Amino acid sequence: MTHRINLGEFDADVTMKDIKNVHLSVMPPSGHVRISAPHRMSLDTIRVYAISKIGWIKDQQRKLRAQDRETSREYLEAESHYVWGKRRQLSILETDAPPHIELTHKAIQLHVRPGTDEAKRHAILEAWYRDQVREAATPLIAKWEPIIGATVNDLFIRRMKTKWGSCNHTARTIRLNTDLAKKPAECLEYLVVHEMIHIIEPTHNARFRTLMDLHLSNWEHLRQQLNELPVRHETWEY
Q: Residues 198-213: what's their mean pLDDT?
A: 93
CA 69, chain centre distance (Å)? 14
pLDDT surpassing 60 at residue 235: no
Per-residue pLDDT at 68 exceeds 60: no
Same domain, 158 and 212: yes
Distance between CA 215 and CA 231 in Å, rounded? 27
**The model's pTM:** 0.72
Verify that 47 and 120 share a domain, yes or no: no
In the chain, what percentage of residues exceed pLDDT 70?
Answer: 91
* Among the listed residues 189, 188, 149, 190, the one whose alpha carbon sits nearest the alpha carbon of residue 172: 149
Are residues 94 and 168 located together in one domain of the fold? yes
What single-letter DSSP state applies at residue 110?
Answer: E
Q: Which of residues 204 and 46 earns the better pLDDT score?
A: 46
Split into its structural domains, the chain has a count of 2
Q: Is residue 75 part of a domain?
A: no
Predicted pLDDT of residue 56? 92
Average pLDDT of span 73-97 = 91
Q: Are residues 201 and 174 in the same domain?
A: yes
Question: For residue 238, is it within any domain?
Answer: no
Helix axes 219-228, 185-200, angle to 10 degrees: 120
**CA nearest to 152, candidates 217, 196, 212, 205:** 196
174 within a domain of the structure (yes/no): yes
